[in-house]
Structure 1
């Protein structure tokens, strides 16, 4: 076998079905494009049907096999119905990317119960609910890959986002715990922890010259990340190339967590 053929099989996702939450824009859309480019059929999930259709049409125009699923990760009934429909309508789910997440900023001493509850419901509870719905089929088939999307804030704190950091720190331990429970069934659970990337949600920070100067000075690679630079990590963890990688959090951060 030629080395290119071997690598293609190792990293290829042909015949796989991937379900991605929070995939109508930003990092979720980038993950969808990456997995689809590696050969997977991809179901993109999100709360807003119009946004999902626009994202799906963009991906389909590029030649990818895409379906849409309206899903509210905070609502168990919505989750269970969306996962069941995706598996019945497309195929059993081989790859799950738990990307849906929100941010709320405020000094911790003034942070409201409502904002705390909303943030945890999406960032932490949603990962549990969607994974619980998907993993039952993976356990029955004795295979599967779950990728939780964490953050550099899982290991580094900043003022005004303590609840967000707490939710992402919890994802690290939830990832390890899932691996500990489900690894025996051939299911791998890992996390990707992005650093600071140029996305729609970060547009204000990118435009803030003071913040950008601080960030690029703080990051060894001296720049923001580009969303395309998450593609390799996602394909790796989803593919057979990572067949013995389980319970890990892969930081994709330009080195910001490696230096003081």
Structure 2
């Protein structure tokens, strides 16, 4: 089950962290992976490592926040790979500041990167999927869209809207053979959360709050993604799967 041989997967934000683990997992199941990041050097290093594991990789540097650049880059790689069967929209940014001092320009920047650009690029890829009658789209949501937390007002707003987009797209794209789902990570050790896992007080709070008493790691999300990307999950769409060690299920 979950054999992805012959399929092509595009993973944004995949030179490290969750995206890299996702590329490794999808490639390990036989998919050709197209990895993406803003730093060409970091992306090249990630591609070399994945190829060392026998995975077929194409490196595609672009910034998700530059929609025109992103669409152009994807259209260019399509000339080589032919189509995209799986799209994992994982790239995102964060700005941490309390609501009453949160700058409007930062709110707009985070919303654009985490919602608007996801919508624009996802729609572009969905058009190609629809023409082939098949596709798997998975967004990176967040447990903060389910449970509020201080200091992440823009990120929470973007991810909550993204969860709504998943349900809306499922309603619109199902007849085209496309499923649309999201993974809502809890607190995962990545570069985006480094300032938190460097904070001993926060880690102590997290271990007390999460039933599994630990931080998540990128590989914790990989198996959930493989399931959502596989043909076998064809009757699963419009769903948000929390991968958070039980955090959002307990008081």
TM-score if structure 2 supplies the norm length? 0.97
Return 5+ residue gaps in structure 2 as ranges. none
Q: Tell me the alpha carbon deviations over residues 185-207 of structure 1, each in whole angstroms, 9 at most, x when there is no partner.
A: 11000000110112233233222
Deviating above 2 A after TM superposition, structure 1's stretches of 4 or more consecutive aligned residues are: 200-204
Does the 8 A contact of 2:95 with 2:106 survive in 1? yes
CA distance, structure 1, for counterparts of residue 105 and residue 217 of structure 2: 32
Q: What is residue 55 of structure 1 aligned with on the other side?
A: 46
CA distance, structure 1, for counterparts of residue 247 and residue 86 of structure 2: 29
Does the 8 A contact of 1:79 with 1:129 survive in 2? no
CA RMSD in angstroms, aligned pairs only: 1.0
Q: What is residue 86 of structure 1 aligned with on the other side?
A: 77
- State the 1:123 CA deviation: 0.3
- State the 1:83 CA deviation: 1.5
Q: What is residue 31 of structure 1 aligned with on the other side?
A: 22
Q: What is residue 241 of structure 1 aligned with on the other side?
A: 232
Counterpart among 102, 105, 108 of residue 117 in structure 1: 108
CA distance, structure 2, for counterparts of residue 249 and residue 159 of structure 1: 22
CA distance, structure 1, for counterparts of residue 66 and residue 196 of structure 2: 31
Aligned residues: 251
Counterpart among 76, 93, 99 of residue 102 in structure 1: 93
- State the 1:245 CA deviation: 0.3
Q: What is residue 171 of structure 2 aligned with on the other side?
A: 180
- The equivalences for 1:208-223 within 5 A come to 208-223=199-214
Does the 8 A contact of 2:188 with 2:217 survive in 1? yes
Return 5+ residue gaps in structure 1 as ranges. 1-6
Does the 8 A contact of 1:18 with 1:94 survive in 2? yes
Q: What is residue 4 of structure 1 aligned with on the other side?
A: none
The yes-or-no answer on 1:251 pairing with 2:226 is no
